Structure 1
Amino acid sequence: MRASRLVTLLLLLQNRGRMTARQLADELEVSVRTVYRDVEALGAAGIPLYGTAGHAGGYRLVDGYRTRLTGLTADEAQAAFLAALPGAAAELGLGEALATARLKLLAALPAEPREHAERIRERFLLDAPGWYDDTHRVPHLAAVAAAVWARRAVVLRYRRWRAPEEIERRVEPYGLVLKAGRWYLVAGGPSGTRTYRIDRILDVRPLEEGFAVPDGFDLTGYWTGHLAGFRARLHTGEAWVRLTPEGARRLGVTPTGDGWTEARVPIESVDHAHREFLRLGTDVEVLAPAELRARIAETARALATRYEGQPPGGRSRGPGHRPPAPDTRAPG
């Protein structure tokens, strides 16, 4: 652990020039006293660095010195491919390796490209997941990733949408895909190649059995075909609707004027369209299909009946009524 930290300290000084003991301690997540000891160890090993006191002081390497310790380890090379997605690297247990790989890559660059790379890091950040996606509930990701790296079969206990909802299945993990902040496993099994959502895996049991990926299998090609099939299955029907300008904007339809716009829109199913169109409220009127129009009318009548009566408890809520404040006490 200390050897890795000494290399990181050396690369930090090479890439950034002068750094104070406090700055180094913050980067390495250690105490200032530990930095002092590490600097002494590097000096004893013959590394030409020196420190100066005062407001503009700090540690730096002798001008012109460059370390040769820029070769990437296996973990660092894997992490480098996830450099645009630090959150993904961290979920795979490669966060520290990614940070070290970046330092080594920067150290290997000449001055001008290195400065350009630093400007990109400072000014651009890719945060792929959506606002309401909880991407941290993937406790079995590390175990699945280990099986992918080692080409070892696993037994999954998995929760799916249709009955039986919970299944147990032996699969051969071919690869992992990160799509819109969510991890997916592509694996071979008794029914051929399938896709499994990592956050729906209930348990993983690694096996000692190895496997070979089928000849001609390509993860990118499989995923491209999987997405095409998903989109083809997604919208199997259409609805005829009237939209206000706001409804047209929210649905991505080009309005025909300042009033209502009629349009045909693709739908996945009556059930799904029922939920989605209710989100638009009074900004949409469904004209067809008749089943969908009837479902929405039935829901609207139920809502009207519910809100016309008094709230539970029988007390009317007048204009001056204020709802009770939420309980912010911690559970337990």
Structure 2
Amino acid sequence: MRADRLVATLLLLQQRRQVTAAEVARELEVSERTARRDLDALATAGVPVYSVQGRGGGWRLVGGARTDLSGLTSGEARALFLVAGPAADATPAVRAALRKLVRALPEPFREQAEAAAASVVTDPQPWGSDGTRRPPPPFLDVLQESVVRGVQVRLGYVDGSGATSTRTVHPWGLVAKGPTWYLVGGTGAGRRTFRVDRVSSVDPTDDPVDRPEDFDLAASWREIADEVHRRRTPLEARALCVPHGLPILRRGFGGRLEVGGPTPDGRVEVVVRGRDASVLAGELAGLVEWVEVTGPPEVREHLAATGRAIVERYR
């Protein structure tokens, strides 16, 4: 549970003044790579953690050791919860851990810490093959601050066609989709999603955000992502899959796979989405051992043509 690990790492730093990634790994029973990644996450989010290179080096807190969470400043508490809270699939145990952390904070910091924990969702699977690491976009920090403070912003934006606009946005939350950041917010036209790397300016106002009472960032993002997937992959192939083939389909198609109910012969109904018939048939052709495509006809025709070409080439 990352929330537990992050605060445990912070407390180790407060108690020992300096730790190495290897020491954190031993204490928390994780890999050294995971420990280093958590230390980097704390530093990147603004918690005053820095590394000392060379012999006798390690990780330290700016200003020396502290004994408990009550020593955090308001900004440090918010930064901690920005990295402890993000999770599209946070488990009940993680949510319970965050509630405990909130209770450990000084009273004036609790509201912003809770807001920070709910302000970001991490969806690690990038769109398609876009997994290239990129630096955070320029206006990410000020947008995070606006989400946590709950204030409207005047947003300058350049859309995908290059058209520029300025509008008032109620920032409800931020999503990291692979390497790409998105702002989810309310506008005069309803809920909208903005790529943060297309934001050209941000001017926070003192006007409070109007947020639906039942708004849930993780649930809202799932709706948005599902709609994007449907637009990017409009063709649906229906198929029957043997049960032991489902893990293979899940690995290969991820969110493009929908699993239905069982059939009388023991197989499982599935739907796989794709861009067009020929590409989708190419993806399915190697799965003939587990999958029988039942429609649409154009996908079956491409599969049959692929089969004939394979027999001709390798007979």
| TM-score normalised by length of structure 2 | 0.47
Greater Rg by CA: 1
Structure with greater proportional strand content: 2
Larger RCO of the pair (alpha carbons < 8 Å, separation 6+): 2
| TM-score normalised by length of structure 1 | 0.45
